[in-house]
Amino acid sequence: MSAEIDYYELLEVSRDADDGVLKSSYRKLAMKYHPDRNPGDAEAEARFKQISEAYDCLKDPQKRAAYDRYGHAAYQQGGAGAGGGGFQGGADFGDFGDIFESIFGNAFGGGGGRQQARRGADLRYDLEIGLEDAFHGKTVEVEVDVAVGCDPCKGSGAEPGTGKRRCNMCGGHGKVRAQQGFFMVERTCPTCHGRGEVIDKPCKSCRGEGRVEQRKKLEVAIPKGVDDGNRIRLQGKGEAGPAGTPAGDLYIFLHLRRHPVFDRDGTTLLTRAHISFTTAALGGQIEIPGMDGQKHVIDIPAGIQTGKQLRKRGAGMPVLNGRGIGDLVVEVAVETPTKLTTRQKELLREFQANETGEQCPESKGFFDRLKEVWNDLTE
């Protein structure tokens, strides 16, 4: 099999060529080098076979994926990485095994080559903030216990002045194979634990791990408008990977403390205002201090009832990562006085004696319905 010339070069196409371009180029070259058109030309016949071989591989999506990943090694005896010296057992699945690994290799840390570098773990930090912090935004400092790269060995895990060597057990692939009946079983190398390298003299500071535990102080910028359950990602601030591999991320999960006055529904602030029954009857105004530091005047229409909601535009929470401000919604609760002077009682009795059903339509309607129900029961 031609293992020296790149298939894409043979077909004179780029590596991102689609099926149509592949077919067109193959047909043109096949006609050019076909033995019938070049009788007695051994070189043309060899090139025709190479072109046919290349097209047979690249026209098949699975074979092409395997070739893009391993090159010609994907179809040599033993499959990708064969001949590494560390694989155990003599059975071989040939091309089928290579295609299988090209599809499923990533799920097992690599398809026959050295195990892919492991990334450090992501970390979670739960941070409680006040509603004021969510409104204005804030930069806070947090402390986390996290594994960081070892400074003496620079994350390599080897004692300074020494290095690593290729694992003899797996030949640097990080995996070994063993035949069990008809099947070939692949497992992580027990000597290098999948790294493909062995440290003879581990670093004394990190004991060969390449990382050490440390308490770190980090600044977290909380944007305006965040809500309960939002999270902030600090890329690369998580746990350092083993043996110098990349660090994971740190996720800050936000939790809002309960506010003594306001509840929140998205960008809407909600509160409940108690007003006197005279204000409810005659109308008036109340002032509500907003999260923006301003006093917002709420007009109370005459005759308002308990449970009525009044809206103040632009006095709520800011929109996260956007423009605009939500609304403030005030729910009214009419309070009945519990202590009255003699004069107040006299005035109320006078009012009671002169009130009509039109002044309290809800009350009149309720008792009218009760009367109808009673009449139905007694007839």
Q: Which one, of 167, 163, 241, lies nearest residue 203 by Cα?
A: 163
pTM over 0.85: no
Q: Are 352 and 369 in the same domain?
A: yes
Q: Are 292 and 354 in the same domain?
A: no
pLDDT digits (tens, 9 = 90+) for 186-197: 888 888 878 888
| Lowest-confidence region among 131-145, 146-160, 293-307, 319-333 | 146-160
Q: Are 322 and 371 in the same domain?
A: no
Residue 73 included in any domain: no
> Between 329 and 191, whose confidence is greater?
329
Residue 86 included in any domain: no
> Would the annotation count 150 as a binding residue?
yes
- For residues 191-216, give the mean pLDDT: 86
Domain ranges, residue 297:
263-335
Q: Are 275 and 317 in the same domain?
A: yes
Residue 102 included in any domain: no
Residue 80 included in any domain: no
> Would the annotation count 360 as a binding residue?
no
Q: Are 252 and 135 in the same domain?
A: yes
| Lowest-confidence region among 59-63, 101-105, 190-194 | 101-105
Q: Are 252 and 268 in the same domain?
A: no
Split at pLDDT 50, 70, 90, the class of 87 is very low
Q: Are 247 and 358 in the same domain?
A: no
User: Domain end: 233, 256, 279, which one?
Assistant: 256
Residue 97 included in any domain: no
Q: Are 244 and 267 in the same domain?
A: no
8 A C-beta contact, residue 100 and residue 80: no
* Neighbouring residues of 290: CB distance < 8 A, sequence distance ≥ 6: 269, 296, 315, 328
Residue 92 included in any domain: no
Q: Are 250 and 282 in the same domain?
A: no
Q: Are 18 and 130 in the same domain?
A: no
Residue 178 included in any domain: no
* Domains of the chain: total: 4
The tally of CA atoms less than 13 A away on the side-chain side of residue 224 is 15
Split at pLDDT 50, 70, 90, the class of 73 is low
Q: Specify the CATH number for the domain of residue 209.
A: 2.60.260.20
pLDDT at 365: 66
**Burial of residue 294, with CB atoms counted within 10 A of its CB: 0-12 exposed, 13-18 middle, 19 or more buried:** exposed
> Would the annotation count 189 as a binding residue?
yes
Q: Are 282 and 324 in the same domain?
A: yes
For tokens 């990602």, the residue is 233
Q: Which one, of 124, 367, 375, 131, lies nearest residue 255 by Cα?
A: 131
Q: Specify the CATH number for the domain of residue 55.
A: 1.10.287.110
> Would the annotation count 170 as a binding residue?
yes
Q: Are 274 and 320 in the same domain?
A: yes
- For residues 363-368, give the mean pLDDT: 66
Q: Among 47-51, 91-95, 248-252, 371-375, name the most confident range.
A: 248-252
Residue 11 included in any domain: yes
